[in-house]
Amino acid sequence: QTSMSRKGDCWDNAPMESFFGTLKTECLHHYQFKTRDEAKRVTFEYIEVVYNRIRRHAKLKNQIPAEFAKTYLQNTEKNAT
């Protein structure tokens, strides 16, 4: 199994553990998949549509990730000029 963190740092993996917990609670536990492809499709749709474009995140000052990224890039471009 691939690790998402460095060896010896248990706190390194906390963001991924949080993400996968949210994915399971808000999405995967609501389905009984018949095929692996169905599970992949539902997971992809949840991440790309709900998690990144609809769901607000407290860590991002209650913005959706797509809004946060857009604002961040605009501010970065302004500061670069």
Interatomic CA distance for residues 65 and 55, integer angstroms: 8
Interatomic CA distance for residues 16 and 5, integer angstroms: 9
Is residue 3 included in any domain, yes or no? no
List the domain range (segments joined by +) for residue 34. 10-80
Q: Which amino acid is at 38?
A: E
Per residue of the chain (81 residues), what is the pLDDT tens digit?
666 667 777 677 888 889 999 999 999 999 999 999 999 999 999 999 999 899 999 989 999 999 999 999 999 988 887
Q: Which two tokens stand for residue 60?
A: 């991002």
Is residue 65 included in any domain, yes or no? yes
To the question of pTM greater than 0.75 for the whole model, the response is: no
Is residue 64 included in any domain, yes or no? yes
Helix and strand counts by DSSP (H, E) for the chain? 4, 0
Count how many domains the chain has. Answer: 1
* pLDDT tens figures, 56-73: 999 899 999 999 999 999
Is residue 48 included in any domain, yes or no? yes
Is residue 4 included in any domain, yes or no? no
